[in-house]
Amino acid sequence: MSDHYYAPDHLKAFGTISEGAPELGKKFFEYYSAVFAAGALTEREKALIALAVAHTVQCPYCIDAYTTECLQKGSDLEQMTEAVHVACAIRGGASLVHGMQMKEHAAKVGM
C-alpha cells in the first residue's frame, strides 16, 4: 500500500478498479471511451474540455493524462492555458455570483 495519497502508478492501474465490480467497470470504461470519441465535437475539443474540468475537480491524475492528451491531439501550451483559465473564470465567477445571495440576505437582515 502506498504511504501517500495520489501515487502516480495509480493512473496506470486505473483499469483494475473493475475487479470489485466488473460489470459496472466495463460499462463505465465503455461509456468513457464513447464520450471521448469524435462526434459533434472533435477529439481535440473534448480533450481541452477535459483538461479544464480536471483543474476544476483538481484531479492530478486527470491533469497529467489530459495535458498529454491535449498535446497529442494537436493543442499547444497557449491553447491549453486558456482552457485552464476558462475553468478558473467559471470557478471564480461561481463564487462571486453567490455574492448576490449574500447581498440579498444582508439587505434583508440589515438596516
User: By the criterion CB under 8 A, which residues form the site for another protein?
Assistant: 38, 42-44, 68, 71-74, 76-79
Between 12 and 105, whose beta carbon lies closer to another protein?
Answer: 12
Between 16 and 79, whose beta carbon lies closer to another protein?
Answer: 79
b/e per residue 27-38 (b: at least 16 CB within 10 A): eeeeeeeeebee
Between 55 and 66, whose beta carbon lies closer to another protein?
Answer: 66
CB of 67 to another protein, least distance (A): 9
CB of 54 to another protein, least distance (A): 17
What's 21's DSSP letter?
Answer: S
Q: HEC string of 62-98?
A: HHHHHHHHHHHCCCCHHHHHHHHHHHHHHHHHHHHHC
CB of 11 to another protein, least distance (A): 12
